[in-house]
Structure 1
């Protein structure tokens, strides 16, 4: 989750360490107590090569939609054949970028009707996610839908049913899900490296206009170049307003606020790492503190979540924060805290910190150790590393690439994906419930098994 540039100072420090030593095969080096760190490389062992070409289309050619396209096209055997968007400027930009023979249209239904389209990226505003995903699945297309999967919790069941009935591959585009960082954190938690999980926290900080969704308004945007009715879809009728289409995240009719945009990433990663189905109680507070530009959603939001005990994890609590007016940094993290240690997780790095080998609460073990030490000087112990660092190697293609690799593998061979519709709903629902809690000033109860608001 943290920008890889933030790792440069650490990489420079590590530059002198030999690869063989990192792998543990070199002669041991004795470290002082303050240097008891171990650095391990995170490696993607294999990537599936393309067996046959996947013909790709995108509906919603804005910033995230086209970022998805660019990443998807780095996967071997993927070709872009069609683009749909309600703004002519984006269609022209797509033709300039990918070729004049590219099929473009304002009407997404023309894309879904094409026989040469195997898979569709849904990169539209949130209020279109459910409709386009369901229609694409019913048209026999596999779907990569940007997060959150739906605009409201009530829409989730329709997407789950459409995926199950179609038999096609459906992946929610929370791009950090398939990262090496998440995979390593899942492995470490399952191995008991932090003991019993009791608390987790996540944080997104931004401090610039683009991060706060103040996107540029194209000079050529007008009622002639924008299909305003297509943009609105099922949303309430409003007169043409370029702010609503190009800064749609600020408006509840089209977006889902900071929780739907950012909390959902943290839920996706946390649920993947812990194998959790989600929280049962959700509460959010915050406010509009700085970006008073007509937006309808808060720029600071705090969420608290209660996770019940299940067969795969103990009960634990989660706190999440988003701050769009952070004057000190622009970063994000996810931290899992257990009875014997903690780990900070990003898409490219995991930092594991552990307590001493013997717990001070283990009275029996301590008493036996004291008995053995009577009359002699206690022998010094070999302590485990106080901190272990797992980071990706240079050349790692990134979490976004990994998520598309996971998607296209499913498209080609029918294998399961990391974030299907059920997983996507269980990640989206607590994020969307934060909006219900914030605007309704209430605690929301959620059944993560039945996927229903209680």
Structure 2
């Protein structure tokens, strides 16, 4: 991509809000969001199952896809076919994403691989000169987040984290933040993030790896373990794979590859709550596991068995946020965020924004421009358009690495507190756990030999 113009942030966000109708022109005449294929950036997707295809599918309106990479031959082939059926163009397919990164015709990569792969692929993509769109949650550990921040700064690449509540379903959430900022519930006294619980699993036996799946590479940086699955198949979203497995879709239930519900849904609701509290450049000073249930026994923070899901099934975590405001992260109750203050309370999720302060907007609306002031410009409703406009402006998008990592640190700390079964004191400036060497060891992880980050 050629060197683009550098508009003000308000102009930049205004172009994003317009989506495909709003375009930005680079100095070479590229117009991102225009209908002409020659005016469109060239993308590639790494990790295509479920969300990987979803973000690709949404982005075909704004970008052309030259290549796909996936370690599962069936997933790779079916998605190449889907893209060709939709766009009339066939992407090149790779099992090894590094071959894709060697190409100089690709402007950006979209990463839909499991969480344990995010940091390695992201760093290597940026060092290869690509801008990056990576699905949430961005990291498996806190130190991974610090590394990504370092490489973004070092390379100057644009990096979008796929947290859709800041864009595609953002109207309710941005209005919720605006209500807080305008004092509609007075001083905030408590925030509750309901993020659903999970279920454990039966004992899952080790079986032969399915044909076409490179199991060694799927594991990548994670420890080498047998492939596990039971015959029962998953239905609905994520269907077509075993219901109980340590691979496709169900990897979210294993700490080796993910952070369970705490990171999966927490990356959405804790993000909005942190934004509303004005804490996007800091974090809690204490995280307390009030109650929790783990599906297997743990010793010294690690599961004692390897053939069952091991992430929490139920939990209530209290994070002490700036101003001594408690943020409660719970598996109980309605999925969404409850804000409580000295003058009232309201609830928001993807389907509703309700409560007396919301009802009062009919007779006492927010000041003109209040929502735009929170957002930094007109509110975008498309994550891909936001990313491409950011690429063109050479500015960071609405879901940037730094604010994402700060809120995700709360989720990571919650998981560490559950694994160790104790309260953690956190220094948000040093980004270290205070006085607990064992807990600090969980801020990083060692990659499996042969799958270290190539720097």
Q: TM-score, normalised by structure 2?
A: 0.71
Q: 2:60 aligns with which of 44, 54, 73?
A: 73
Q: 1:46 aligns with which of 15, 18, 22?
A: 18
Report the counterpart of residue 153 of structure 2 in structure 1: 164
1:259 maps onto 2:273 in alignment? no
- Sort the Cα spacing of 1:339 and 1:88 in 2 relative to 1 into closer, same or farther, 3 A: same
Report the counterpart of residue 182 of structure 1 in structure 2: 173
The Cα shift of 1:86 comes to: 0.7
The Cα shift of 1:436 comes to: 0.8
In our comparison, the structure showing a higher alpha carbon Rg is 1
- Indicate conservation of the 8 Å contact 2:68/2:80, yes or no: no
Structure 1 gap segments, 5+ residues each: 1-43, 310-314, 357-382, 390-398
Structure 2 gap segments, 5+ residues each: 1-15, 25-30, 33-39, 230-244, 297-304, 367-378, 435-455
Report the counterpart of residue 24 of structure 1 in structure 2: none
1:299 maps onto 2:284 in alignment? no
- Indicate conservation of the 8 Å contact 1:55/1:80, yes or no: yes
Which digits, 9 at most, give the CA deviation of each residue in 1:53-111, with x for residues without a partner? 1211111111121122122234xx31222111110110111121012731111101011
Report the counterpart of residue 21 of structure 1 in structure 2: none
Q: 2:74 aligns with which of 79, 89, 92?
A: 89
How many correspondences in the alignment?
354
Structure 1 residues 259-278: aligned runs within 5 Å = 259-276=262-279, 277-278=282-283
- Indicate conservation of the 8 Å contact 1:283/1:304, yes or no: yes
The Cα shift of 1:415 comes to: 2.7
The Cα shift of 1:161 comes to: 0.3
1:236 maps onto 2:216 in alignment? no
Q: Give the Cα separation in 2 of the matches to 1:429 and 1:414.
A: 26
Which digits, 9 at most, give the CA deviation of each residue in 1:227-265, with x for residues without a partner? 111111121111333522212112221111111111121
Which digits, 9 at most, give the CA deviation of each residue in 1:367-405, with x for residues without a partner? xxxxxxxxxxxxxxxx9869989xxxxxxxxx9953333
Report the counterpart of residue 284 of structure 2 in structure 1: 279
1:142 maps onto 2:108 in alignment? no
The Cα shift of 1:438 comes to: 0.6
The Cα shift of 1:49 comes to: 3.0
Structure 1 residues 372-451: aligned runs within 5 Å = 401-451=381-431
The Cα shift of 1:297 comes to: 1.3
Q: TM-score, normalised by structure 1?
A: 0.71
- Sort the Cα spacing of 1:87 and 1:184 in 2 relative to 1 into closer, same or farther, 3 A: same
SS in 1 for 2:166: coil
SS in 2 for 1:127: helix
The Cα shift of 1:223 comes to: 4.9
Q: Give the Cα separation in 2 of the matches to 1:400 and 1:190.
A: 20
- RMSD value over aligned CA atoms? 3.2
SS in 2 for 1:295: coil
SS in 1 for 2:23: coil
SS in 1 for 2:164: coil
